Chain A
Amino acid sequence: MDWTPKQMMAIALSRLIEDEKLYVIGTGLPLLSATLAKNTHAPNAKFIFETALFEGSPLEVPTSVSDMRINYKASVLWPQYRYFGFLSLAASRGMIASGFLGGAQIDPYGNLNSTSIGDYFHPDVRFTGSGGANGIATYCNSFIIMKHEKRRFVEKVDYITSPGWIDGPNGRSKHGLMPDCGPLAVITEMGVMRFGDDKRLYLSEFFHGVTAKQVADNTGFSLDVSRAVESAPPDLDALRILVEQVDRTRLMI
Chain B
Amino acid sequence: MDKINKAMTAEEAVSSFVRDGDLIAIGGFVTNRRPYGLIREVIRQRRRDLYVESGASGGDVDMLIGAGCVKAIICSYIANSGFTQVCRRFRAAIESNAILFDDLSLDVQTIAYHGAALGLSYVPIKNMIGSDLVSKWGISAEERVKHDKLPNQKLILMEDPFDPGTTVCCVPTPKIDVAFLHVQKAAKDGTFQIHGPGFQDLDIAMAAKRTIISCEEIVDTEELRRHSAENTCTGLCVDAVVHQRHGAHPSQCFGYYDYDPKFLRMYDVASRTQEQFDVFLEEYVYCCATQEEYLEKFTAEQLISLTVDPVLGYKPGLKR
Complex: how many Å from CA A132 to CA B138? 19
Complex: how many Å from CA A172 to CA B90? 33
Known interface pairs A63-B83, A66-B56, A81-B110. Does A134 touch B128 (Cβ–Cβ under 8 Å)?
A: yes
Interface contacts beyond A51-B197, A163-B131: sample of 5 additional A-B pairs, CB < 8 Å, sorted by A: A65-B29, A66-B31, A80-B199, A124-B95, A129-B77
A-chain residues with CB within 8 Å of residue B78 when the two chains form the complex: 128-129
Closest A residue by C-beta to B81: A64
Closest A residue by C-beta to B73: A129
Minimum CB–CB distance from A228 to chain B (whole Å) comes to 30
Does B132 contact A77, Cβ atoms closer than 8 Å? no
Number of A residues whose C-beta is below 8 Å from B?
57
Q: Give a binary string over B203-227; 1 marks a CB under 8 Å from any A CB, 0 the rest.
A: 1000000000000000000000000
B-chain residues with CB within 8 Å of residue A127 when the two chains form the complex: 86
Does B166 contact A176, Cβ atoms closer than 8 Å? yes
Does B94 contact A126, Cβ atoms closer than 8 Å? yes
Complex: how many Å from CA A120 to CA B81? 23
A-chain residues with CB within 8 Å of residue B32 when the two chains form the complex: 64, 66-68
4 A-B pairs with least C-beta separation: A63-B82, A64-B81, A175-B130, A134-B105
Minimum CB–CB distance from A93 to chain B (whole Å) comes to 15
- CB of B133 closer than 8 Å to a CB of A: yes
- CB of B44 closer than 8 Å to a CB of A: no
Does A60 contact B316, Cβ atoms closer than 8 Å? yes
Does A115 contact B132, Cβ atoms closer than 8 Å? yes
Minimum CB–CB distance from B156 to chain A (whole Å) comes to 14
Minimum CB–CB distance from A235 to chain B (whole Å) comes to 29
Does B136 contact A80, Cβ atoms closer than 8 Å? no
Complex: how many Å from CA A66 to CA B77? 13
The A interface, classified by DSSP as helix, strand, loop or mixed, is: loop
Question: 24 A-B residue contacts at CB 8 Å?
Answer: A63-B82, A66-B29, A68-B314, A71-B196, A77-B196, A80-B198, A80-B200, A81-B114, A81-B203, A84-B110, A88-B126, A115-B132, A126-B94, A126-B95, A129-B75, A130-B133, A131-B77, A135-B105, A138-B128, A160-B130, A161-B131, A163-B131, A176-B126, A176-B130
B-chain residues with CB within 8 Å of residue A69 when the two chains form the complex: 313-314
A interface residues, Cβ below 8 angstroms from B: 27, 50-53, 59-60, 63-69, 71-72, 77-81, 83-84, 87-88, 115-116, 120-135, 137-139, 159-163, 166, 172, 175-177, 251
Complex: how many Å from CA A51 to CA B198? 9
Neighbour of A131 across the interface among B76, B167, B314, B320, CB < 8 A: B76
Closest A residue by C-beta to B128: A134
A-chain residues with CB within 8 Å of residue B127 when the two chains form the complex: 84, 134-135, 138
Closest A residue by C-beta to B76: A129
Taking each of B56, B131, B203, B312, which has the highest tally of chain A beta carbons within 10 Å of its own beta carbon? Answer: B131
B-chain residues with CB within 8 Å of residue A64 when the two chains form the complex: 29-32, 79, 81-82
- CB of B85 closer than 8 Å to a CB of A: yes
Complex: how many Å from CA A163 to CA B105? 12
A-chain residues with CB within 8 Å of residue B75 when the two chains form the complex: 129
Does B129 contact A159, Cβ atoms closer than 8 Å? no
Complex: how many Å from CA A53 to CA B130? 28
A-chain residues with CB within 8 Å of residue B79 when the two chains form the complex: 64, 128
Complex: how many Å from CA A116 to CA B90? 13
- CB of B106 closer than 8 Å to a CB of A: yes
